[in-house]
Amino acid sequence: MAKRQTNLAKIVHPSSKIQTKSYKNMLYSLLIFTASNIQRTNLSQDRLSDLPDEILVSILSLLKLEERQRTSILSRRLQPVWEKFKCHEISIADFRTALSSERSEFISYSLESLTDLSLTNVEVTGEVLEYVLSNCPFIEILHVEASRLLALCQAKAFKDKYTQYLEHIQIHAINLVSFEYFGCETTRILLGDVPNFVSLSVMGGYFGYLFKNGCPISHYFSQLETLELLILVSQKNFMIVNYIYIIIFLILIMFVYKCAIFSWFNFSEIFEVPKLPKLRNLRLLKLDIHRLSWMAFFVALPFLRHSLCCKELCSSITPLLLPCDSFVAR
Amino acid sequence: MSNTSENPNPSSSSAKITLKTSDNELFEVEEAVAMKFCTVKQYFEDEKDNDVAARGSSTVIPLPNVHSAVLARLISYCKKLPQSNAVADNHEEEETKKKERKQYGTPGDLVDLISAANYLDFKEGLEFFNQALADHIQNKSVEYVRKFFGIKGDFEPHEEEKYREEYAWAFEGVDED
Higher model confidence: residue A133 or residue A199?
A: A199
Nearest to A231 by CA among A142, A318, A154: A318
Give residue B54's pLDDT: 52
CATH topology for B16-80+101-137 is: Potassium Channel Kv1.1; Chain A (3.30.710)
The confidence band for A135, taking pLDDT boundaries of 50, 70 and 90, is low
Q: Return d(Cα B57, Cα B6) in angstroms, integer.
A: 8
The confidence band for A141, taking pLDDT boundaries of 50, 70 and 90, is low
Q: Return d(Cα B15, Cα A289) in angstroms, integer.
A: 56
- The pTM for the full model equals 0.47
How many CB atoms neighbour CB B148 within 10 A?
16
**Is the CB of residue A29 less than 8 Å from the CB of residue A18?**
yes
Q: Return d(Cα B3, Cα A109) in angstroms, integer.
A: 55
| Nearest chain A Cα distance for residue B7, angstroms | 31
Which of 8-37 (A) contact B at CB < 8 A? 9, 11-14, 33, 36-37
**For A100-104, A118-122, B95-99, B164-168, which range has the lowest pLDDT when averaged over its residues?**
A100-104
**For A50-54, A101-105, B87-91, which range has the lowest pLDDT when averaged over its residues?**
A101-105
Q: Return d(Cα B122, Cα A47) in angstroms, integer.
A: 20
A143 phi and psi angles, rounded to 5 deg: -120, 125
Which of 252-311 (A) contact B at CB < 8 A? none
**Is the CB of residue A123 less than 8 Å from the CB of residue A149?**
yes
Rounded to an integer, the average pLDDT of B66-72 is: 87
The confidence band for A267, taking pLDDT boundaries of 50, 70 and 90, is very low
- CB nearest to A48's CB, from B151, B153, B160: B151
Higher model confidence: residue B89 or residue A75?
A: A75
| Nearest chain A Cα distance for residue B6, angstroms | 31
Name the E strands within chain B: 16-20, 26-30, 60-62
A166 phi and psi angles, rounded to 5 deg: -70, 130
- CB nearest to B149's CB, from A46, A54, A70: A46
Give residue A101's pLDDT: 42
Rounded to an integer, the average pLDDT of A100-115 is: 51
Q: Is B138 on the interface with A (CB under 8 A)?
A: yes
Over 50: is that where the pLDDT of A43 sits? no
Rounded to an integer, the average pLDDT of A281-310 is: 58
The confidence band for A248, taking pLDDT boundaries of 50, 70 and 90, is low
**For A153-157, A296-300, B118-122, which range has the lowest pLDDT when averaged over its residues?**
A153-157
Residue spans of the domains in chain B: they are 16-80+101-137, 143-170
Which of 57-116 (A) contact B at CB < 8 A? 58-59, 62-67, 69-71, 73-78, 102-103, 106
